[in-house]
Structure 1
Amino acid sequence: MSATESTSLDTARLRAYASWFTAQTTLPRHPTTRAYETGLREALGGLIPQIEKHAAERQADDVPGKVALAGVGEARRRMGIPERNGLKGEFERVKRLAMSVSALCDHLDALTGARMCLLCDRALEEAGANWVPYDRAVPIGGVKSGHVHAACAKAVQR
């Protein structure tokens, strides 16, 4: 996956890429882990400059800009962690890179004003799409608030 192809408008694709890795319930094989590390590093390499650009365009005291830059700092720190011994250690290290990709996608969307459906991770502004507010309890972080497509909300209620 080339991050430069998709980071400006397709954060949903990058999130899906990172989410696949973090959702694994068994350890992927070492070549798979290495391949994902490469792809995640490419994604971070594309996301970081965009976030820095958009944050620089904001006021010095802009909270979303400062938070996004803190996320960039954490992503850079994670990129600097050396390779770990054993597959489990490597998986955990690469998983943290995937979590940074997901977080930076959220920050980029916040800085650019993009609004994504919390359930299907597609843009809310799709032609003819109706959307509704959504709050849901999540295990980490308490409540996930945002918006969802009306059709996605109906599917969850079933």
Structure 2
Amino acid sequence: MANLDDKNNYKLRLKEIESLILKAKNVFRDLEVSEKKIGKKYNFTTNSMLRGNFFGNLIRSNKVNLVNSNIDRCQQALLDFHSDLLLFDEFLADKLILPSKMSEFSQANDKFSDIAIRTNMRLKEFDLRKAKRSLEIIIRRLEGEKKKVLYEISKLEELNSYEKNKEKGKITK
């Protein structure tokens, strides 16, 4: 008769995988929301009156701080998920990519510094996209692992039903 401990171990493994998939999807949604927020931040218009003065620099500094706070939130969610994933599979956890924050804003004196700030914001949006792609890969691998575990459970159930059948192996006419 098939070992019930094997079936229980597979069920525990299945629960662990499902909880990791759920956490990964939550982190993925957080990354999408932050990506949209950052996308709205670099679409600002500037004119020469707001360049190089205190008010313009304050606006740019606030936008950089908002971008960094969104990235910080994503980094924290990714690190929490990474710690859970390390307990499950360390090689899979190595696939996770963390986005980096922007450097602190100092001052914009000309059009080129405005362009540099917007470009850096776009690059941080691309960092979030790379993190999302790595998370998609992890989700696909976890779903593949889930299918393997479900297959093993179904094999054990089939073996149990075969062993319980009293007429197994008999030829009937």
TM interval, short-chain normalised: 0.3 to 0.5
Structure with higher RCO (Cα < 8 A, 6+ apart): 2
Structure (1 or 2) with the greater strand fraction = 1
Larger radius of gyration: 2
TM (norm. structure 2) is 0.38
